[in-house]
Amino acid sequence: MSSKTSLAYVVSLTSRAERDLVQLFTEINVVHSDAARAWYQGLKKKILSLEKHPNRCPVTPENDACRHLLYGRGRNVYRVIYRVLGERVEMLHIRHSARRKIE
């Protein structure tokens, strides 16, 4: 009987994605709101879930070399735009889904 080993990808953030996370942290007032903190921690957990099966998310309409992970509900859905490079998942941008497509 053979066991399958699953490849774990390394998730990294570009400086742009890090700035996006910091801005989001400030905008939703994570420091003073338990609900915002739980939402933010859920977002980070969802991003880290890309360590396994990062190709499960759809390709972005802007660039077929990138994928996007959607997180949130209703009017508060965010797009985590990333690309898979070998064994690495590189977060490029985190933005509200209602914003215009990326140029």
What is the CATH classification number for the domain harbouring 92? 3.30.2310.20
pLDDT at residue 103, rounded to an integer? 53
In a domain, 103, yes or no: no
In a domain, 54, yes or no: yes
Domain that holds residue 83: 11-96
pLDDT at residue 43, rounded to an integer? 94
pTM: 0.83
**67 and 57 in contact (C-beta within 8 Å)?**
yes
In a domain, 21, yes or no: yes
Question: Into how many domains does the chain fold?
Answer: 1
Tokens representing 11 are 């998730």
Q: What is the per-residue pLDDT across 13-71, written as a single tens digit (0 to 9) for each?
A: 999 999 999 898 888 888 888 988 898 999 999 999 999 999 999 999 989 999 999 99
Distances (CA, A) of 47 to 3, 4, 32, 69, 96: 27, 24, 23, 8, 15
In a domain, 27, yes or no: yes
In a domain, 6, yes or no: no
In a domain, 86, yes or no: yes
**50 and 82 in contact (C-beta within 8 Å)?**
yes
In a domain, 101, yes or no: no
Q: State the angle between helix axes of 15-27 and 34-48 in degrees (0 to 180), rounded to the nearest 10.
A: 160
